[in-house]
C-alpha cells in the first residue's frame, strides 16, 4: 500500500480541502489508473487519547473501508486545528484501475465541537452519503453534525445502561438512519432462527413459542434486548417490562393472543461482545438451542416426542472488526425491521 | 416453502429485512466430485458459503466419481482444493466441520449399485436429521453422462421425495447442437419436471451480468434511447489473450462458437435487448429472454458466409513471447478445422430492434482479455460546429465492461479548451470497484445457493436453451459441411482476422481491443 501525505499545524478547513484536491490531482496525473473511492464519508469524533485505538479498529474493517474518513480527535484545551491528510492506494497493474482511499485526521479542541459542522462540511466529499460515529459520546458534536448526517453509527452495547442506550437510539432515529452495532451482532442469530423455522413443517411452531432464553456477554444486554425485541415485533407479541432477578439477568414475559411467552436474558461467561446462545421453546415440548462453538453454532434440538439431536451449523466469526465493517456497509442499506425491534426492546427494558 | 427472487418469504415473518434468505436443510450430491470443476470451483464455493454462514443449517455432501476412494481420501482432496482455490482464507474449525461429514460414493455412472449406495447414504442423512432433507444432484461430469445419470436417478426413484424438494443441476454444455440439446431435454424431462431442472451457465451468476439488468431497468436515463431510433449498432466482444491451455481434448470438439457464443454471448445479447420483465422472477425473466432470442433470425444456409466468420490463430507473439499457432498446440490435429475465433452479425427482428446490427466476436489468443458490450448511438441529426482541427464529433458510445474492470463508460463530445469551437470525444467513467466496497461473490456461490433455494432466475429454461442453439445451429451446420474452404488465420496476439471486418456495414469498424 502506498501513501501520499500532507500535514499542517494550525490549519483550517479550506487548507485541508485544498490539500485533498491537490493530492488527488497529483496522484491522478502520475497514474490515471487510480481513481478515488466514491461510496461514503465516515466522520468519527473521538477523544484524542483514544485516537490510536479507534484508528486501529477502523483499519480492521476488512474490505468495508469508507471512501473518505474524517477522524476528529478532541482534546480539552486545544485552541487550534492540526491536520494530516493521507491518501492510500495500491498501484494498479497496467490496464486496470486502482482505488484511492482518503483519510483526514484533525486534532481539535472541545471549543470546536459546537460548530463542528463548519469544519467537517468543507472536508467531506459532498456528493456522497455521510455516516457519523461518535464512540466516546460527544453529544455536542452529534448535535452540530446531525443536519449533514445521513446515517448514525452507534453501539447500544457501549452504554452502561441499556435502557438509556435504546432510548437514545429511538431519539436519533427521528433525525437520521441509525446503524446499531448491537443490532448487527444479532444478525447471524436472526438469520439462523429465520432459517430454522422456514421449512413448511416447522413454520407453525412460530405461533406456538412459549419461551425465549437469550444468553449474552454481560455488557451486551442491549443486543439481547434487541433480539427479543425483534422476535416480539415480527411475531406480534406484546412485550412487557422484564424484571432484574439478580445479577445474572432479566426475566419476564410477553403476551401473544392471550398466551404467555416467558423471556429470559441471561449473562454468560464470554469474552467476545454479543450473544452467546439462544433457546426457543414451543408447545408441546419442542425446543431449539443455538450456542456459539468452534467453527459456527452448536445446534441442539428436542422434539415433542423427546428425541434429542445435536449438530454444527457452520460459519466463521466475523470478530469485532467485521462487525464495524458491517456497520459501514449497512450505512448504504436500509433495514426496515430495526425500528420495530428497537421499539419492542425498549418496552422490555426494566422500569 | 420456496423463497422468491425478491427476497420475501410469503409466510415466514422472520425473513423480512434479512439479506441472507433461508436455505432449507439439504443433501448435495456432486457427480464428478473429483473432477476439475469440483476441484477449482465447486468445493471452494461450498467452503466460502460455509465460512459466511450461508449454507443450510443442516448440510450434507456426497461426491460421486469413478475412482475408487475412501471418504477420508475424498475429504483430503476437498481440503486441498479449498486451501488452494478458496477466495477466503479457510478457518480451520469451519473447514473441519465441512469436511468431516463429506462422503464419497465410487463407481461408474451407469452402475445401479452407485445409485443404491447413494440412496442408502441419503436416507442415513435423513435419519440423522429426523427429517427428509432436500436433495440437489449436481452433474459436473462429461456431457455424455448427463442423460445416463438423469435416467439412473429416475430408475432408482431418486428423482422424487415425498417430503422434500429434489433438484438437478446440469453443467454446460447442454448439448452440442440443437438436435442433441432437444434430445437431452427430452431425456431429462422424462425423469424430472422442468421446475426441478437447473441448467447452469455460470456467466449468469456474475454480478456484472446481473448489473446489466440493473443498468437498464433501474435507470430512466437509458430506456428512452434503447431502441432502433437511437442505436446504430451493438458490438459484443469476449476476447481472451490465452490459448487453449492444454484443453485440446475439449476444445477440438467445441470451438469458439459453442464455447462462448451459444451460451455466454447470446445470454448477454438477450439481457441487453429483452423487454423489461414485470418482476425479477424466474419465469417472467426467462419469458422475456425467450421472446427476444426467438426474434433473432438465424441465417439461412446461403447467408452464413456473409453473416459469420471463423478463423484459427497462427503463430505469433503474445505478451512479448512467441507462441505457437492453434494447429501446433499439443493434442490438436494438424489439419484441424476447429475455429478459435468466431464473429457474427445478427439481427433482432422486432419493433424495438429492427435494422440494428448486433456484432458478436470471440476468440482465443487475441491482443487483450476483455468482455464488453459497446452500444453505439446514431449521429446527431445536424451539427452546428465545424469539425476541422480536431477528431470532430463522434457518435456517443455506451460501453459496459464485464471484465476485467467491471464498469460503464459513456463517450460524450466536449469542447477542446481554446478560442475555437472544436469538439473531441471524452469519457464519463463509472467503475464498480470505486463505488462499492464489497467483494463480489464467485458466480458459483450464488448459483449453488439459488439452486438449493429453488430459485431458477439465473438458470436457463428448456425452451430458452433450444432457442440459443437455434440461433447458431445453421452456422454450425454450414461450417461442419464445408470441409474444403481454407480456414482464415490471424496471428496470435492480434485483433483477429481481417475477414471479420467484412461483417461490418458502411463505415463501421470493430472497437479496438
Q: Which residues pair with A2 in a beta bridge?
A: A89
A196 to chain B: nearest residue by CA? B57
State the smallest CA–CA distance between residue B15 and chain A in angstroms: 6
Compute the nearest-CA separation of A34 from chain B (Å). Answer: 10
Give a yes or no: residue B114 inside a domain. Answer: yes
Tell whether B378 is covered by a domain: yes
Lowest mean pLDDT among B160-164, B343-347, B376-380, B381-385: B381-385
Reply yes or no on whether the pLDDT at A298 is more than 80: yes
- The grid coordinates of residue B240 equal 481472451
Catalytic residue list contains B264: yes
Min CA distance, A24 vs chain B (Å)?
A: 14
Q: Which chain B residues are within 8 Å of A194, Cβ to Cβ? A: 12, 14-15, 18, 22
Nearest-by-CA chain B residue for A96: B405
Q: Do A195 and B23 touch (CB under 8 A)?
A: yes
Q: Are residues B161 and B278 in the same domain?
A: no
Q: Which of A23, A63, A13 is nearest to A322 (CA)?
A: A63
Q: Which residue of A has its CA nearest to B89?
A: A316
Report the alpha-carbon distance of residue B401 to residue B458 in Å, rounded.
Answer: 20
Q: Which positions ≥6 away from B323 have C-beta within 8 Å?
A: B243, B315, B316, B317, B365, B492, B493
Q: Please tell me the distance from the alpha carbon of residue A146 to that of residue B488, in angstroms, as a whole number.
A: 67
Query: Do residues B316 and B402 both lie within one domain?
Result: yes
For residue A296, the chain B residue with the least C-alpha distance is B94
Judge if the upstream peptide bond of residue B270 is cis by omega within 30 degrees of 0: no
- What is the domain count for chain B? 2
Check CB contact under 8 Å for B24 and A199. Answer: yes
CB B269 within 8 A of CB B391: no
B12 within some domain: no
pLDDT at B505 over 90: no
- Minimum-distance CB partner of A295 among B25, B91, B404: B91
The correct answer on CATH 3.30.360 for the domain covering A187-326+335-348 is: yes
What's the mean pLDDT in A150-166? 94
Among residues B90, B91, B188, B178, the alpha carbon closest in space to that of B139 is found at B188
Chain-chain contact of B435 with A313 (C-beta, under 8 angstroms): no
C-beta separation of B49 from B81 below 8 A: no
Does residue B7 surpass a pLDDT of 50?
A: no
Cell numbers that stand for A139 in this block: 453529544
> Which residues of chain B does A312 touch, with a Cβ-Cβ cutoff of 8 Å?
97
Phi, psi of B494 (to 5 degrees): -100, -175
Taking CB atoms and an 8 Å limit, are A203 and B12 in contact across chains?
A: yes
Q: Are residues B154 and B229 in the same domain?
A: no
Q: How many Cβ contacts (< 8 angstroms) between chains A and B?
A: 135
- From the list B24, B39, B202, B264, the catalytic residue is B264
pLDDT of residue B425: 84
Q: SS3 sequence, chain A?
A: CEEEEEEEEEECHHHHHHHHHHHHHHHHHHCCCEEECCCCEEEEEEEHHHHHHHHHHHHCCCCCCCCEEEEEEEECCCCCEEEEEEEEECCCCCCCCEEEEEEEEEEEEHHHHHHCHHHHCCCCCCCCCEEEECCCCCHHHHHHHHHHCCEEEECHHHCCCHHHHHHHHHHHHCCCEEEEHHHHCCHHHHHHHHHHCCCCCCHHHHHHEEEEEEEEEHHHHHHHHHHHHHHHHHCCCEECCCEEEECCEEEEEEEECCEEEEEEEEEECCCCCCEEEEEEEECCCEEEEEEEECCEEEEEEECCCCCEEEEEEECCCCHHHHHHHHHHHHCCCCCCCHHHHHHHHHHHCCC
Is residue B183 one of the residues assigned to a domain?
no
Whether residue B234 is found in the same domain as residue B338: yes
Contact B169, B449 (CB under 8 A): no
Please indicate, yes or no, whether residues B384 and B473 belong to a single structural domain of this protein: yes
β-sheet bridge partners, residue A254? A239, A261
The closest alpha carbon to B469, from B251, B183, B181, B237, belongs to B181
Positive/negative CA dihedral, A205, A206, A208, A211: positive
Give the pLDDT confidence of B267-288 residue by residue, as tens digits.
999 999 999 999 889 999 999 9
**Domain match, B223 and B335 both:** yes
Per the structure, the complete domain to which residue B443 belongs is given by 205-494
pLDDT of residue B440: 67
Please name every residue paired with A338 in a beta bridge, in sequence order, or none if there are none.
none
Query: Of B170, B191, B220, which marks where a domain is finished?
Result: B170
| Cβ partners under 8 Å of residue B489, min gap 6 | B311, B312, B313, B314, B325, B497
Nearest to B259 by CA among B243, B272, B270, B273: B243
Q: Do A307 and B55 touch (CB under 8 A)?
A: no
| Weakest-pLDDT range from A201-205, A281-285, B1-5, B109-113 | B1-5
Residues B434, A38: C-beta atoms closer than 8 Å: yes
Map out the domains of chain A as residue ranges. Answer: 2-149, 187-326+335-348
Residue B377 lies in a domain: yes
Provide, rounded to the nearest whole percent, the portion of chain B with pLDDT above 70. Answer: 96
Q: What is the CATH number of the domain that holds B299?
A: 3.30.360.10
Looking up cell 443450510 gives B56
Sign, CA torsion B440/B444/B450/B455: positive
Whether residue B464 sits in one domain with residue B370:
yes
CA atoms within 13 A on the CB side of B139: 27
Smallest Cβ–Cβ distance between B97 and the set A95, A296, A333 belongs to: A296
Percent of chain B with pLDDT over 90: 79
* Residue B460 DSSP SS3: strand
Distance from C-alpha of B405 to C-alpha of A55, rounded to nearest angstrom: 30
Other C-beta atoms lying within 10 Å of the C-beta of residue A175: 13
pLDDT of the residue at A252: 96
Could you tell me if B165 and B210 lie in one domain? Answer: no
Backbone angles phi, psi at B358, to 5 degrees: -110, 115
Computed over every residue of chain A, the mean pLDDT equals 93
Confidence check: pLDDT of B462 > 90: yes
Query: Which 3 state secondary structure label does DSSP give B134?
Result: strand
pLDDT at B59 over 90: yes
* Minimum Cα–Cα distance from A334: chain B residue: B17
Which of A201, A314, A329 faces B94 most closely, judged by CB atoms? A314
- In this structure, are residues A37 and A100 in contact, taking their beta carbons and an 8 Å threshold? yes
Q: Hey, are the CB atoms on B405 and A97 less than 8 Å from each other?
A: yes
Question: Which one, of B135, B133, B148, B63, lies nearest residue B101 by Cα?
Answer: B63
Contact A36 B434 (CB under 8 A): yes
Beta bridge pairs of residue A246:
A249
Reference A191, options B113, B56, B11, B63; nearest CA is B56
Option in A38, A199, A314 nearest B50 (CB): A314
For an interface test with B, the pick among A100, A177, A185, A195 (most B C-beta atoms closer than 10 Å) comes out as A195
Residues B130 and B220 placed together within one structural domain of the fold:
no
- On chain A, the residues whose CB falls within 8 A of the CB of B22 are 191, 194-195, 198
Single pTM value for the model: 0.91
Q: Are A110 and A163 in contact (CB under 8 A)?
A: no
Indicate which CATH number applies to the domain containing B105. Answer: 3.40.50.720
Residues A164 and A172: beta-carbon distance below 8 Å: no
| Chain B residue nearest residue A38, CA to CA | B435
Residue B507 is assigned to a structural domain of this protein: no
Q: Which of B2, B49, B53, B124 to mutate to test the interface with A (most CBs of A within 10 A)?
A: B53
Chain A residue with CA closest to B405: the answer is A96
The angle, 0 to 180 degrees and rounded to 10, between the axes of the packed helices B43-51 and B71-85 is: 80
Distance between CA atoms of B405 and B407, rounded to whole angstroms? 6
Q: Is residue B382 part of a domain?
A: yes
pLDDT at residue number B10: 52
Integer CA distances (angstroms), B389 to B394, B421, B423, in order: 14, 10, 9
pLDDT in tens, B290-349: 999 999 999 999 999 999 999 999 999 988 889 999 999 999 999 999 999 999 999 999
Asked if B130 lies within 8 A of A35 by C-beta distance, the reply is no
Q: Are residues B150 and B221 in the same domain?
A: no
- Check A316 against B14: CB less than 8 A apart: no
Same domain for B381 and B265? yes
Collect all residues of chain B within an 8 Å Cβ-Cβ radius of residue A336: 16-17
For residues B390 and A98, the model is more confident at A98
Is A64 in contact with B24 (Cβ distance < 8 A)? no
Q: Is residue B185 part of a domain?
A: no
Running DSSP on this structure, what letter comes out for residue B390?
S
Chain B residues in contact with A314 (beta carbon < 8 A): 50-51, 53, 55, 59, 94, 97-98
Amino acid at each position: 500500500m502506498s501513501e501520499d501525505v500532507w500535514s499542517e499545524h494550525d490549519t483550517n478547513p479550506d487548507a485541508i480541502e485544498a490539500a485533498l484536491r491537490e493530492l488527488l490531482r497529483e496522484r491522478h496525473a502520475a497514474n490515471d489508473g487510480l481513481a478515488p473511492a466514491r461510496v461514503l464519508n465516515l466522520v468519527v469524533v473521538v477523544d484524542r487519547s483514544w485516537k490510536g485505538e479507534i484508528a486501529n479498529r477502523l483499519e480492521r474493517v476488512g474490505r468495508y473501508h469508507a471512501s473518505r474518513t474524517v477522524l476528529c480527535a478532541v482534546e480539552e484545551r486545544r485552541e487550534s486545528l492540526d491536520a494530516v491528510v493521507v491518501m492510500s492506494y495500491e498501484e494498479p497493474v497496467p490496464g486496470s484501475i486502482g482505488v484511492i482511499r482518503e483519510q483526514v485526521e484533525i486534532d481539535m479542541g472541545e471549543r470546536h465541537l459546537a460548530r463542528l459542522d463548519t469544519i467537517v462540511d468543507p472536508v467531506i466529499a459532498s456528493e456522497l452519503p455521510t455516516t457519523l460515529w461518535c464512540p466516546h459520546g460527544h453529544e455536542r458534536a452529534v448535535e452540530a453534525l446531525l443536519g449533514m448526517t445521513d446515517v448514525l453509527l452507534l453501539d447500544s452495547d457501549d452504554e452502561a445502561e441499556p435502557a438509556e442506550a435504546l432510548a437514545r437510539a429511538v431519539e436519533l432515529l427521528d433525525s437520521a438512519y441509525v446503524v446499531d452495532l448491537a443490532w448487527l451482532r444479532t444478525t447471524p442469530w436472526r438469520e439462523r432462527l429465520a432459517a430454522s423455522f422456514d421449512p413448511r413443517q416447522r413454520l407453525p411452531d412460530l405461533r406456538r413459542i412459549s419461551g425465549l432464553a437469550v444468553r449474552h456477554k454481560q455488557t451486551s444486554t442491549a443486543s439481547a434486548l434487541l433480539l427479543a425485541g425483534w422476535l416480539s415485533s415480527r411475531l406480534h407479541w406484546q412485550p412487557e417490562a422484564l424484571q432484574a432477578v439478580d445479577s445474572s439477568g432479566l426475566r419476564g414475559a410477553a403476551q401473544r393472543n392471550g398466551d404467555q411467552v416467558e423471556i429470559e436474558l441471561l449473562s454468560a461467561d464470554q469474552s467476545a461482545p454479543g450473544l452467546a446462545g439462544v433457546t426457543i421453546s414451543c408447545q408441546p415440548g419442542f425446543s431449539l438451542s443455538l450456542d456459539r462453538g468452534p467453527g459456527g453454532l452448536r445446534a441442539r434440538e428436542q422434539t415433542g416426542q423427546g428425541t434429542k439431536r445435536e449438530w454444527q451449523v457452520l460459519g466463521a466469526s466475523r470478530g469485532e472488526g467485521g462487525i464495524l465493517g458491517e456497520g459501514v456497509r449497512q450505512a448504504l442499506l436500509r433495514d426496515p425491521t430495526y425500528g420495530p425491534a428497537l421499539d419492542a426492546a425498549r418496552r422490555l427494558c426494566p422500569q | 416453502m420456496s423463497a422468491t427472487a425478491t427476497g420475501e418469504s410469503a409466510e415466514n415473518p422472520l425473513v423480512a429485512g434479512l439479506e441472507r434468505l433461508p436455505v432449507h436443510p439439504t443433501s448435495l450430491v456432486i457427480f464428478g466430485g473429483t473432477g476439475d470443476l469440483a476441484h477449482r470451483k465447486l468445493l471452494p464455493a461450498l467452503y466460502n458459503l460455509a465460512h459466511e454462514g450461508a449454507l443450510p443449517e443442516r448440510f450434507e455432501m456426497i461426491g460421486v466419481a469413478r475412482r475408487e476412494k475412501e471418504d477420508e481420501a475424498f475429504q483430503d482432496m476437498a481440503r486441498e482444493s479449498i486451501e488452494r482455490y478458496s477466495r477466503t482464507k479457510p478457518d480451520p474449525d469451519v473447514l473441519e466441520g465441512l469436511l468431516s461429514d463429506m462422503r464419497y460414493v465410487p463407481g461408474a455412472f451407469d452402475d445401479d449399485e452407485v445409485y443404491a449406495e447413494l440412496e442408502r447414504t441419503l436416507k442415513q442423512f435423513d435419519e440423522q436429521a429426523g427429517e427428509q432433507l432436500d436433495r440437489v444432484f449436481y452433474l459436473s461430469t462429461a456431457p455424455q453422462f448427463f442423460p445416463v445419470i438423469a435416467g439412473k436417478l429416475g430408475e432408482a426413484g431418486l428423482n422424487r421425495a415425498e417430503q422434500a424438494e429434489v433438484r438437478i443441476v446440469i453443467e454446460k454444455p447442454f448439448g452440442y447442437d440443437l438436435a442433441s440439446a432437444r434430445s437431452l431435454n427430452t431425456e431429462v424431462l422424462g425423469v424430472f419436471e422442468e421446475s426441478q431442472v437447473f441448467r447452469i451457465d455460470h456467466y449468469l451468476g456474475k454480478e456484472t451480468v446481473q448489473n446489466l439488468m440493473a443498468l437498464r431497468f433501474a435507470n430512466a436515463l437509458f430506456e428512452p434511447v434503447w431502441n432502433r431510433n437511437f442505436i446504430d449498432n451493438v458490438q459484443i466482444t469476449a476476447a481472451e489473450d490465452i490459448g487453449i491451455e492444454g484443453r485440446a481434448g475439449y476444445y477440438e470438439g467445441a470451438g469458439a462458437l459453442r464455447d462462448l457464443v451459444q451460451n455466454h454471448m447470446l445470454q448477454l445479447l438477450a439481457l441487453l435487448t429483452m423487454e423489461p420483465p414485470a418482476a425479477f422472477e424466474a419465469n417472467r425473466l426467462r419469458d422475456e429472454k425467450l421472446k427476444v432470442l426467438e426474434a433473432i433470425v438465424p441465417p439461412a444456409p446461403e447467408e452464413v458466409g456473409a453473416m459469420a466468420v471463423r478463423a484459427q490463430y497462427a503463430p505469433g507473439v503474445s505478451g512479448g513471447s512467441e507462441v505457437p499457432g492453434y494447429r501446433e498446440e499439443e493434442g490438436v490435429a494438424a489439419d484441424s478445422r476447429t475455429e478459435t475465433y468466431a464473429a457474427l452479425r445478427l439481427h433482432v427482428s422486432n419493433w424495438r430492434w429492427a435494422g440494428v446490427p448486433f456484432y458478436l466476436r470471440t476468440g482465443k489468443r487475441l491482443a487483450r482479455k476483455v468482455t464488453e458490450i459497446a452500444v453505439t448511438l446514431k449521429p446527431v441529426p445536424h451539427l452546428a460546429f465545424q469539425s476541422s482541427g480536431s477528431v470532430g464529433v463522434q457518435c456517443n458510445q455506451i460501453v459496459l465492461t464485464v471484465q476485467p474492470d467491471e464498469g460503464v463508460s459513456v463517450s460524450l463530445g466536449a469542447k477542446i479548451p481554446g478560442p475555437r469551437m472544436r469538439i473531441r470525444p471524452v469519457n464519463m467513467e463509472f467503475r464498480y470497484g470505486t463505488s462499492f466496497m464489497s467483494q463480489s461473490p464467485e458466480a458459483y456461490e450464488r448459483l449453488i445457493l439459488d439452486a438449493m433455494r429453488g430459485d431458477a432466475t439465473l438458470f436457463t429454461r428448456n425452451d430458452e436453451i433450444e432457442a440459443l442453439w437455434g440461433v447458431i445451429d445453421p452456422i454450425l451446420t454450414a461450417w461442419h459441411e464445408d470441409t474444403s474452404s481454407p480456414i482464415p488465420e490471424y496471428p496470435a496476439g492480434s485483433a483477429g482476422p481481417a475477414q471479420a471486418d467484412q461483417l461490418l456495414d458502411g463505415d463501421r469498424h470493430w472497437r479496438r481491443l
